[in-house]
Amino acid sequence: MKLLLKAVTIASAIVAAPALAESWTLAPAGSHLAYGSIKKDTVGEVNSFTGLRGHVTPGGKAEVEIDLSSVETNIDIRNKRMIEHVFSKAGTASLTTKFDMAEVSGLSVGETTTVDAQAVLSLSGTDVTFDAEMFMARLTETQVKVSTNDMVFLSTEDAGVNAGVDKLMELASLPGITRTVPVTARLIFNRDEEQAPVAPAPIAVAAVTGDVKAGKKVFRKCSACHKLDEDHHTVGPSLHGIIGATAGQSDGFRYSAPLQKSGVVWTTETLTAFLSDPRGTIPGNKMQFPGLKKDGDIANLIAYLQAETQG
Ligand code: HEC
């Protein structure tokens, strides 16, 4: 039983490792979203949002929610005017994009990369689509930083806030405010703790992980009754192409009813269970074999069967 568990654990770890279904949650403390404006042609100002929430799904869909009432212009009255006139008291805006999660998972700690992302900003019922080059750094095993590589320019007209900006100009008696707004973002995401493995990869991939040479030796325990060439049945059925096959279905071999009717599909998992305890796993089958008890034997054997007849 110990062996069985271990072998299954190894097999599932191998299957799951390259593509963990990772989801990530934005850490508001380390994140920062800012935009700039220039008034009267000469006075540049930076505004930012302190209220950010966000999440990235295992499929790479990222959504950041911006609490528009959290806008910080460093002047109270201006904050109020922004919320009321530019953001039309919309509450929240959302920023959605999609990341290639293979790229994210593939980054080792300390590594960085740049990716092209297409993002959509939804603000008061208007969607603005824009391209942004994003810089990505894996800070730790469980933390990534995503930031704009350059600044991104958004047009106030596209964002549907031109009238609001007109109103600001009027209220502050300003001759002009630029209608193209540079935006920069620094987003920190922490990996969620509960990570469910994605659907297992095809078993053929998982099976190549044992040691084929060692598996060949293990097969000596089977070869008295099993051959590997197709349709060559002896005491037991040929094991040609056994991985992925349904139990008890080889043409020309007379199986016992329990095995033939078991409906078992031979995968790393089911073979591991069967070979460690043939009689306990499929009671009443007629394979006269006590089972393999040594750690690693089964994984190696499966690798050998795979390489020999399915590679
Ligand atoms: C003493 C003979 C004997 C030995 C040794 C033996 N088997 Fe079998 N094996 C059989 C027989 C007979 C069957 C058919 C059982 C039935 O029909 O109930 C069988 C069935 C199987 C099946 C199911 C095949 C199918 O088509 O569904 C697998 C898999 C299998 N054996 C693998 C092995 C492996 C791997 C070993 C060595 C670790 C091994 N066996 C050792 C006799 C043996």
**Residue 221 CB–ligand 1 contact under 6 Å:** yes
Residues 133 and 220 in one domain: no
- How many angstroms separate the CA atoms of 159 and 136, rounded? 26
Residue 237 CA, ligand 1 centroid: distance in Å: 7
Evaluate whether residue 287 is within a structural domain. Answer: yes
- pLDDT: which is higher, 253 or 60: 253
Provide the domain count of the chain: 2
Q: Give the separation between CA 22 and CA 112, rounded to whole angstroms.
A: 18
Q: Residue 199: pLDDT band by 50, 70, 90 thresholds?
A: very low
Separation of 199 CA from ligand 1 center, angstroms? 29
Of 170, 191, 212, which closes a domain? 191
Q: Are residues 169 and 220 in the same domain?
A: no
At 85 the pLDDT is 80
pLDDT, tens digit (0-9, with 9 covering 90-100), for 227-282: 999 999 999 999 999 999 999 999 999 999 999 999 899 999 899 999 999 999 99
How much is the average pLDDT of 106-112? 89
Domain range holding 232?
203-309
* Euclidean distance between CA atoms 280 and 274, whole angstroms: 8
Co-location of 232 and 278 in the same domain: yes
pLDDT at 202 over 50: no
Say if residue 125 is in the same domain as residue 152: yes
For residue 169, what pLDDT band results from cuts at 50, 70 and 90?
confident
Query: Residue 72: CB partners within 8 Å, gap ≥ 6?
Result: 47, 48, 49, 50, 79
**Do 133 and 71 share a domain, yes or no?**
yes
Residue of 246, 262, 289, 297 best suited for mutating to test ligand 1, as the one with most atoms within 8 Å of CB: 289
Q: Examine the domain organization and report whether 176 and 211 are in the same domain.
A: no
Maximum average pLDDT range among 76-90, 154-168, 294-308? 294-308
Q: Which is more confidently placed, 118 or 17? A: 118
Q: Where are the alpha helices (DSSP H) in 107-237?
A: 162-171, 203-207, 212-218
Same domain, 120 and 184: yes
179 and 305 inside one domain: no
User: Phi/psi of residue 256, each to 5°?
Assistant: -75, 155
The chain-wide mean pLDDT, for the chain, equals: 82
pTM (2 d.p.):
0.49
Is the pLDDT confidence value at 218 over 50?
A: yes
- Residues paired with 58 in a beta bridge: none
167 and 291 housed in the same domain: no
Check if 222 has its Cβ closer than 6 Å to any atom of ligand 1. yes
Q: Let me know whether 48 and 163 are in one domain.
A: yes
Helix, strand or coil, per DSSP, at residue 306: helix
**Distance (Å, whole) CA 148 – CA 18:** 27
Q: Does residue 270 fall inside a structural domain?
A: yes
Q: Is residue 33 part of a domain?
A: yes
- In the chain, the percentage of residues whose pLDDT exceeds 90 is 36
Nearest atom, ligand 1, residue 260 CA? 17
The predicted pLDDT at position 35 comes to 86
305, 289, 267, 261: which is closest to 7 by C-alpha? 267
Phi, psi of 233 (to 5 degrees): -95, 140
Same domain, residue pair 36 and 140? yes
- Angle at which helices 2-16 and 268-276 cross, to 10°: 170
- pLDDT at residue 16 greater than cutoff 60: no
Mean pLDDT value of segment 60-82: 86
- 170 phi/psi in degrees, rounded to 5: -65, -45
Q: How far is the CA of 143 from the centre of ligand 1 (A)?
A: 48
Range ranked top by mean pLDDT from 74-78, 190-194, 202-206, 244-248: 244-248
Q: What is the pLDDT of residue 44?
A: 85
Q: Which residue has the higher pLDDT, 137 or 99?
A: 137
Give the CATH number of the domain where residue 302 resides. 1.10.760.10
7 part of a folded domain: no
Q: Closest residue (by CA) to atom 28 of ligand 1?
A: 239
Contact between 190 and 24 under an 8 Å Cβ cutoff? The reply is yes
Mean pLDDT of 199-206: 44
Helix 297-309 vs helix 268-276: angle between axes, to the nearest 10 degrees? 130
Q: Is the pLDDT of residue 210 over 70?
A: yes
